[in-house]
C-alpha cells in the first residue's frame, strides 16, 4: 500500500532567544543552538551584534525599577550577543524547558543553564516567557524581512 503525505504548511508559534555575552565569550554558541535544533525546532532568523544601550533599555524595560537593572544593561552591552527567532509547535514552552530555570542553582541537569551556567547574572541565554513578550522581543530585534519562512525536509517527520 502506497503512503501519501499531504503536507500543508501552517504558521507555527515563534519565540525570541538571545545568547548573552557570557555564552559568546565561553564559546558555547554552537552547543546552545544544537540543543534547540536537536529538539526539532527551526531557526528562522539569526544575528550576531553588539547591543546598543537604547535597545537594551527597551528589552529589559520591565526591570527598570529593580536594583539590578543598571548592572543588567552594562552586562548585556558588554560584548556581542546572538539574537534568534525560533519556530515550532509550542515553541515558547519548549524553549523555556530546554533553557531551564533563570537561576542555574534551580535549573535541572540536562537544561542549558543546569549544565553550563553558574550564576543568575551570567546565565548564558534569554528566552521569551510568553506569546506577548515573544512578539514584542521579535519586533524589537528583527524586521519582518529578516525572518525567513521555509520548510525543512524533516518537518513531515516531526509534525503530524
Q: Give me the count of residues in the chain.
A: 160
Listed in sequence order, the residues at least 6 apart from 97 whose beta carbon sits closer than 8 Å to its beta carbon are 111
Q: Are 23 and 147 in contact (CB under 8 A)?
A: no
Listed in sequence order, the residues at least 6 apart from 45 whose beta carbon sits closer than 8 Å to its beta carbon are 83, 84, 85, 142, 146, 147, 148
Q: Which of 6, 59, 63, 126 is catalytic?
A: 126
Q: Are 98 and 111 in contact (CB under 8 A)?
A: yes
Note the Cα 121 to chain centre separation in Å. 17
Q: Is 126 a catalytic residue?
A: yes
Q: For 82, which DSSP code?
A: E
3-state DSSP percent of the chain in helix, strand and coil, to 5? 40, 20, 40
Show which residues are catalytic. 126
Amino acid at each position: 500500500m502506497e503512503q501519501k503525505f499531504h503536507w500543508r504548511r501552517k504558521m507555527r508559534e515563534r519565540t525570541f532567544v538571545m545568547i548573552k555575552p557570557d555564552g559568546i565569550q565561553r564559546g558555547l554558541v554552537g552547543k546552545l543552538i544544537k540543543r534547540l535544533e536537536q529538539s526539532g525546532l527551526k531557526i528562522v532568523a539569526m544575528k550576531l551584534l553588539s547591543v546598543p544601550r537604547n535597545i537594551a533599555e527597551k528589552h529589559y524595560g520591565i526591570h527598570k525599577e529593580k536594583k539590578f537593572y543598571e548592572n543588567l544593561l552594562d552586562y548585556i552591552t558588554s560584548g556581542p550577543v546572538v539574537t534568534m527567532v525560533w519556530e515550532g509547535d509550542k515553541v515558547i514552552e519548549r524553549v523555556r524547558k530546554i533553557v531551564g530555570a533563570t537561576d542555574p542553582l534551580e535549573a535541572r541537569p540536562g537544561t542549558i543553564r543546569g549544565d553550563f551556567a553558574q550564576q543568575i547574572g551570567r546565565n548564558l541565554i534569554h528566552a521569551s516567557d510568553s506569546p506577548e513578550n515573544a512578539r514584542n522581543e521579535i519586533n524589537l530585534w528583527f524586521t519582518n524581512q529578516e525572518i525567513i519562512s521555509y520548510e525543512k525536509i524533516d518537518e513531515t517527520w516531526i509534525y503530524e
